Amino acid sequence: MIYRAAIFDLDGVIADTARLHLIAWKQLAEGLNLPWTADTEERLKGLERMASLEVILGEKSSNYTEEAKIALAARKNSRYQELIRSLSPADLLPGAGELLAWLNSQHIPVGLASASKNAPAVLEALGISRCFSVIADPEKSAPKPAPGIFLAAAKGLGIDPEFCIAFEDAPAGVSAIKSANGMTAVGIGNPDSLKDADYTLDSLEQFVPYDFFLSVLAESGIRQNMNIDKRPNEKID
Ligand code: B16
Ligand code: MG
């Protein structure tokens, strides 16, 4: 397959923002005297904001009106926004910065498909906003495992889904990619929980983009102008 674009999930692929989401949710739960059980953290993985709140409220959910729930989610989000201000390029997960730099250097379009409404601020804090030509709006697509956000990213990039390769750490995200009209899924994390992915890696550090994009670079006739003989962890002049 000749890939023409790369699409990334954010949390768990590019940066560990789950750590900051958990701090903010835990503070909310403690403030409401709600239990924080051993599996709460696992159950929150990859869920969008209001679904996460339902996990936190658990059986107490019916005690809160919709307005009260929106206010609680806003309270958690304010705390999360304070926390993401502390992010810096040092918080990029292994291989993320190098891969993005390589894709940009080869003029391969890069998109983001994150459920987070805070994604633009997170990218800014990580110093990688300019690496992305498209950030799909999570408010305009049904949540993962629906494929909408990946299809929107591909559309924004102007590349058919079958020519896009996408990176995800959550099983729901891998399912979303696999139902996105022929898109290829690279799972980042545990192969047992990401078994629907086409490839599974421990981190982006193991991904060798040269192998996946070489043919598109050669095919587009721009090979002479680019250092495509160099691997991404080598210096690109
Ligand atoms: P926000 P991803 C997801 O990001 C996180 O994994 C999840 O924990 C979070 O609740 C969700 O974004 C919504 O985030 O409250 O900032 O809108 O993995 O899709 O990049
Ligand atoms: Mg994720």
pTM over 0.85: yes
Q: How many domains does the chain have?
A: 2
CATH of the domain at 58: 1.10.150.240
Active site (annotated) includes residue 198? no
| In contact, 191 and 171? CB cutoff 8 Å | no
Q: Which of 36, 54, 84 represents a domain boundary (last residue)?
A: 84
Q: Which ligand is nearest to the Cα of residue 170, counting in written order?
A: 2
Catalytic residue from among 9, 91, 192, 202? 9
Does residue 161 share a domain with residue 60?
A: no
| 3-state secondary structure labels for all residues of 53-73 | HHHHHHHHHHHCCHHHHHHHH
Does residue 98 share a domain with residue 194?
A: yes
User: Does 228 have pLDDT greater than 50?
Assistant: no
Q: What is the pLDDT of residue 224?
A: 39
Ligand 1 in reach of 114 Cβ (< 6 A) = yes
Ligand 1 in reach of 49 Cβ (< 6 A) = yes
Higher pLDDT, 224 or 187: 187
Does residue 9 share a domain with residue 28?
A: no
CB-based burial of residue 195 (10 Å sphere; 0-12 exposed, 13-18 middle, 19+ buried)? exposed
Does residue 116 share a domain with residue 39?
A: no
Does residue 100 share a domain with residue 44?
A: no
Q: Which domain holds residue 55?
A: 18-84
- Spell out which residues have Cβ within 5 A of ligand 2, the ion: 9, 11-12, 169-170
Does residue 220 share a domain with residue 105?
A: yes
How confident is the model over 173-192, as a mean pLDDT?
Answer: 97
pLDDT in tens, 58-112: 999 999 999 999 999 999 999 999 999 999 999 999 999 999 999 999 999 999 9
Residue position matching structure tokens 């609680």: 72
How confident is the model over 182-193, as a mean pLDDT?
Answer: 96
pLDDT in tens, 23-35: 999 999 999 999 9
Q: What is the pLDDT of residue 46?
A: 77
Ligand 1 in reach of 12 Cβ (< 6 A) = yes
Q: Is residue 80 part of a domain?
A: yes
